[in-house]
Structure 1
Amino acid sequence: MADDRPILMFDSGVGGLSVLAPTRALLPQASFVYVADNGGFPYGIRSEAEIAARVPALLGRLVERHRPRLVVIACNTASTIALTAVRAALDLPVVGTVPAIKPAAALSKSRAIGVLGTDATVRQPYVDDLSARFASDCLVIRHGSARLVELAEAKLRGEATDPADYAEVLAGLLGQPGGERIDTVVLACTHFPLVEEELARAAPRPLRFVDGGPGIARRVAHLTEGQDWPAESKGEFVFTAPAEAGDALRTELAARGLGTLSTL
């Protein structure tokens, strides 16, 4: 029997598209509702209290409207701050996003890894815990960048971005004491894989970049194993506040299976 319930993916902006891609690859039969909270964007510079209050309330409204089978918080900042509260408030599976420190530590040869995220993410005690549990023998260096979020959003809108901006972000990470040892960088914001190629070109030496998208996709596939799916998969992109989506963004979204745009 066909089951039309979608998978709901939530982020402050377009960053969660880096999670949608591997999830759609594993579950091509699924329907998706992708929500960009442009009304609260950017999360990375907001206080923990703001995010902790906003995200559970907003997801409650979205779940009531779209009746998904599962929610993915495709945002590191929102997950590290509000995941527990969201799970307590919603009576359905909720998958969060955490910095991919464990796989990065497994890959690092130099035993020095960088964590590149938003300011709100890199200062969270959760990152301390992940580092202690999975990278205790590694030097873990963090750097927060709101600018890189803006660059990823601009790229998806079809705007040109300056290579010097990416070099400056990397310098903030690699220029710290011990940064010369880093061989693996955790992209601890879902926006950042969208500009991984630009980061690689701007890097002063070869670096390995790791993100949590594939792991999240596997988790979603596991949680939905054995479920029925729609007769026809659909995709909808939802803004939480009025927004003007240009042709370039519409094209990018359509290419990712999100041909319908709406506002909450």
Structure 2
Amino acid sequence: MLDARPILFFDSGVGGLSILAPTRRAVPQAPIVYVADSAGFPYGVKDEAEIAGRVPALLGRLAERYAPRLIVIACNTASTIALAAVRYALDIPIVGTVPAIKPAAALSRTRTIGVLGTAATVRQAYVDDLAARFAADCHVIRHGSAALVTLAEAKLRGETVAPATVRDAVAPMLASPGADKLDTVALACTHFPLLADELALAFGPGVTFVDGGPGIARRVADLTRGQSFARTTPDVAVFTGAIGAGLEETLAKHGFGQCIPL
């Protein structure tokens, strides 16, 4: 019997589309509900207590409404702060998105890597632990940028993003001690892969970028292996607050038949 339960993707905005894309390729038949917490956007400038309270409560409501077979928290900030609490509260598989420090360290030849995320993500003990476990022999340069999140959202709305604004946003990382040896950067915010071309220009040749998208897709495929899928309604994008101008057209291009308020 075919199963119409969706996979639910959750982010503060639309950065989670960078995680959704490889997952769609891995399980193209899966119905999708994408939730953007636009009423709480952006998470990266909020304190930990607010995120730790907001995310589990909101995902509890969403689980009741949409009865997903699996939830992907497509947000590094929410995952590094609230993943354990969400898993404790909900009796369904929860896949988090955490900084891709392990693959970054594996790729680095200079043993100097960057972790580029939001301020709330890069300061987390969760990131300390990942760096200690997987990049102990690396010089790890962290930088948090709220500006890049805003720029990624603007790009998805169809606005032009000036390369100079991206260069300015990452300038503190490039000016850090040892940054001349930087050869690999973990994009620790799901918004940032959406600025891949602009970031490549800002960092210049010789720097490789990695993110959690491919790993998340493999994990979702593993967790749903052998399950049946039925798409009885169009995939839907849900917003807790305002739907930004221009986003409905972008979401339609990503396969969403409708955008609705929560």
Pairwise TM-score range, normalised by the shorter structure: over 0.9
> In structure 1, what is the equivalent of residue 130 of structure 2?
130
1:11–1:73 contact (8 Å) kept in structure 2: yes
Counterpart among 237, 240, 256 of residue 258 in structure 1:
256
Q: Provide the C-alpha distance between the structure 1 equivalents of 2:9 and 2:177, rounded to a whole number of angstroms.
A: 37
> Matches of residues 157-236 of structure 1 in structure 2 within 5 Å?
157-230=157-230, 234-236=234-236
- How much has 1:209 moved relative to structure 2? 0.4
- How much has 1:232 moved relative to structure 2? 5.4
The answer for unaligned runs of 5 or more in structure 1 is none
Secondary structure of the 1:45 match is coil
> In structure 1, what is the equivalent of residue 34 of structure 2?
34
Q: Provide the C-alpha distance between the structure 2 equivalents of 1:215 and 1:232, rounded to a whole number of angstroms.
A: 28
Amino acid at match of 2:121: T
- How much has 1:2 moved relative to structure 2? 1.0
- How much has 1:231 moved relative to structure 2? 5.1
Q: Which moved more, 1:79-88 or 1:198-207?
A: 198-207
- How much has 1:257 moved relative to structure 2? 1.0
Count how many residue pairs are aligned between Structure 1 and Structure 2: 262
> In structure 1, what is the equivalent of residue 82 of structure 2?
82
Q: Provide the C-alpha distance between the structure 2 equivalents of 1:174 and 1:240, rounded to a whole number of angstroms.
A: 36
The answer for unaligned runs of 5 or more in structure 2 is none
TM-score by length of 1: 0.97
**RMSD over aligned Cα atoms:** 1.1
Judging changes above 3 Å, is the alpha-carbon distance between structure 1 residues 109 and 41 closer, same or farther for their aligned structure 2 residues?
same
Judging changes above 3 Å, is the alpha-carbon distance between structure 1 residues 111 and 43 closer, same or farther for their aligned structure 2 residues?
same
Amino acid at match of 2:215: G
> Matches of residues 55-66 of structure 1 in structure 2 within 5 Å?
55-66=55-66
> In structure 1, what is the equivalent of residue 67 of structure 2?
67
Q: Provide the C-alpha distance between the structure 1 equivalents of 2:8 and 2:214, rounded to a whole number of angstroms.
A: 17
Judging changes above 3 Å, is the alpha-carbon distance between structure 1 residues 181 and 102 closer, same or farther for their aligned structure 2 residues?
same
Q: Provide the C-alpha distance between the structure 2 equivalents of 1:254 and 1:121, rounded to a whole number of angstroms.
A: 30
How many percent identity over aligned positions?
67
Amino acid at match of 2:110: S
